[in-house]
Structure 1
């Protein structure tokens, strides 16, 4: 029990929990002298709490992740995997964890169905180096997928461009039954993007961010993992709203 208490205190003293506790304490102290400032600080504290705990994940992430369920497929001739970021290490460029999880699952499916792997990801504005799709293709070859089974889209900079460019590749290659692999939180926006170009994909979500186990005390304290998950969830929600406005 003592270790739990220590972990809870530590969670609210160190970032990101500090961004919850500090404005909360200041808000209480300023309640008498400046009620407006106090309420603003308390609101910021509440918002920070939602963004840094599994309470927020339940609100922002879980509904997106449950939009599509994992399933088995009768057949497919292409597996599309969307990039999730790269970074440069002293040994060269590597995929970020989300991108790596997507790619590994996509490679396994491609091998299972003897399908073509379509990797999509370019370079973000302001970045330099190599396109993400090139890194994914190189890793796919290391995992035993032959080069003739890999198609690359090295131009896409966002999900909309992923869908546009990959749709062109799929139709040019006369592929009929593509499976789409991306993170569960990202899948809804990705499917919407492909529908804009009238390409029906079979969604295969991976890389879940929510903990679907029983509730425990850790779900109610701030963590870095919850902050990352919630920021990704908010990003997807804003992206979906933007799509609706554009249409």
Structure 2
């Protein structure tokens, strides 16, 4: 296995323990172990883990976490007129889709591809799809290219299939686009992923027009998007929000 793949997998494994559902379980387990030596402190730690578990799935706290991420409104027509290309970021793959003949994009990537296809159809702008494969196999970008063509009738002009994270999405997209004079892009990704994505693409030298999709929380005073009580939807929103906040903190620690 290549070194980059090993680093990618190591980063994912670390992330498992920093994000729900493992994060509260790790805190609770730590508290229970601590009870052996410090019973009172152990009980407090275990209760804290339970509190964290509730916070990351309770709709009000999840909405608060998302509010600081989903800042960008839907892209405006005036912004689209300024863009020279559309960049769609991958968000994962589905390795077993027998009804579709094998591998395909996962739900997250499909939401982005669908919106990118709509913008491409509206504007006629060329499309770049970006996303690699941490192990051997078809890149996410190639799966996106197929989905765009077969399901939406849009041909991607560029397929960037080497990147393994958002930083590399930006760097490798710049290598494809900027030598050809494409420096202004409409960037398609999830609304909660947009702050991190915009920062990376701007550092790579692009002028970015955010084109967010798949808002998980409310935006612009609209009706509450999350259910009133904890559910699978709110738990997913909590996971996604915390994932993005951890990513932003990591960027700060890297000094970017």
Aligned to 2:247: 239
Offset from partner CA, 1:5-62 (integer Å, 9 cap, x none) = xxxxxxxxxxx8xx89xx7xxx9xx9xxx43333222211111000122123123222
Offset from partner CA, 1:185-237 (integer Å, 9 cap, x none) = 10000001012112111001101111552499x43x43222222212111111
2:73 maps to 1:69? yes
2:103 maps to 1:93? yes
Could you tell me how far apart the structure 2 residues matched to 1:71 and 1:133 are?
Answer: 23
Could you tell me how far apart the structure 2 residues matched to 1:43 and 1:241 are?
Answer: 22
Aligned to 1:55: 60
Q: Secondary structure in 1 aligned to 2:244? A: helix
Structure 2 segments unaligned to the other structure (5+ residues): 1-20
Aligned ranges for residues 74-223 of structure 1 at < 5 Å?
74=78, 75=81, 76-89=83-96, 90=98, 91-124=101-134, 127-142=135-150, 143-146=152-155, 149-211=156-218, 213-214=223-224, 218-219=227-228, 221-223=229-231
8 Å Cα contact 1:77/1:113 also seen in 2: no
Q: TM-score, normalised by structure 1?
A: 0.79
8 Å Cα contact 1:79/1:106 also seen in 2: yes
8 Å Cα contact 2:183/2:207 also seen in 1: no
Could you tell me how far apart the structure 2 residues matched to 1:56 and 1:192 are?
Answer: 25
Count residues with an aligned counterpart.
215
Q: Secondary structure in 2 aligned to 1:201? A: strand
Higher RCO (CA-CA < 8 Å; seq separation 6+): 1
Structure of greater Rg: 1
Alignment partner of 1:42 out of 32, 36, 47: 47
Q: Secondary structure in 1 aligned to 2:115? A: helix
Structure 1 segments unaligned to the other structure (5+ residues): 1-15
RMSD: 2.5
Q: Secondary structure in 1 aligned to 2:201? A: helix
Greater than 2 Å deviation, 4+ residue runs: 34-38, 211-216
Aligned to 1:226: 234
